[in-house]
Structure 1
């Protein structure tokens, strides 16, 4: 079995376990993203994960596990790093406008190359601090790049009035939940099962607190 076939088998198995079905062209593009990330990672050290097979599990499947909870026409992925979860989410939903944000020039260069080589016309790359990002978004994703309090303090202005904030976490710390700004509230916490990943994963879903909610 070739390396490409091995990666496809792992991805196909994981997608099946997640209950996700995508066209062959979408799966091909997800694998192309892993290939590109692996190639760039050898020089630019974008992720601590070195093995492409582990990238499928720890990056692709981890990102795609939140697909059922993503909603809206616009999405911003804050602290995107190597594009996680923003690039996989953009690949599987080309109708959604995705903005990937990172302040690291090395990482945004990779993100621009990923968008160009994978022909992701729905992706916009911003090299920016979160505080300086303009506009608002229906959905915001953030993959454990800061505490919930810091995420919302820096980027809370980016969430549309009826938008959804999806914070990807390992274990959920009650003290961290208690520290979120008063303008926001936890809607629900989803326990995620990432195929092949023997670690706790949770998705904290937040929204703006409405006047009726106090």
Structure 2
């Protein structure tokens, strides 16, 4: 392993420890392999505005891992998955769960298919589609990271869940104005300030559900 690879591995391991997560050596190797693909493909595909590989560890991998303890149930959808955050990261961490990654950008879904193939992620389904056009059974959870306003996120995905589904929205600053504009049949059930190692600025996770 090169000194550069060692540096990324060290940053990942320190971040995992700071998040109080237990991640197997195999899963850590897959996370680093995913990181390598992200760095490589980003040069041509513009998957993320973050260019520095070290920063990708913190702002993408560790940020995605920061919500791992809030994932329960068997079937999850990652809406507007982009370069695979948090869907790919969570799929590596929890091979017993199924993750459907949705994005309307063909370049990004081609990258996600490549990641699925190269890492052998049998628990990942990649869909190139607008979320409003999907017809799928209700998911146990639906997650988005910097995808849209809470109003649009819940409105565009309401047909993919029911009153048992959890909607997880990853945000920066606490979105008080967006919460005030939630559709009437959704409500906030919980919120958490996230402390992501190496990331500057605020991070919040909002957990929403449909009203009975």
What is the TM-score with the length of structure 2 in the denominator?
0.97
Note the C-alpha offset of 1:160: 3.4
Partner of 1:126: 127
1:59/1:84 contact within 8 Å kept: yes
1:111/1:125 contact within 8 Å kept: yes
2-structure distance, mates of 1:80, 1:134: 18
Residues 41-56 of structure 1: matches in 2 within 5 Å?
A: 41-56=42-57
Q: Deviations over 1:75-113 (max 9, x none)?
A: 000000001100000000001010000000000000000
What value does the CA root-mean-square deviation take over the aligned residues? Answer: 0.9
4+ runs of 1 displaced by more than 4 Å?
none
Structure with the bigger percentage of strand: 1
Secondary structure class of the residue paired with 1:60: helix
Partner of 2:209: 207
2-structure distance, mates of 1:175, 1:8: 39
1:71/1:164 contact within 8 Å kept: no
Note the C-alpha offset of 1:157: 1.4
Q: State the number of aligned residues.
A: 210
Note the C-alpha offset of 1:182: 1.0
2-structure distance, mates of 1:170, 1:66: 13
Partner of 2:72: 71
2-structure distance, mates of 1:70, 1:160: 17
Partner of 1:144: 146
Partner of 1:82: 83
Partner of 2:183: 181
2:163/2:211 contact within 8 Å kept: no
Q: Deviations over 1:9-67 (max 9, x none)?
A: 00000000000011100000000000001000111111111111111100000000000
2-structure distance, mates of 1:68, 1:25: 19
Structure 1: unaligned runs, 5 residues or longer:
none
What is the TM-score with the length of structure 1 in the denominator?
0.96
Secondary structure class of the residue paired with 2:132: helix
Secondary structure class of the residue paired with 1:162: coil
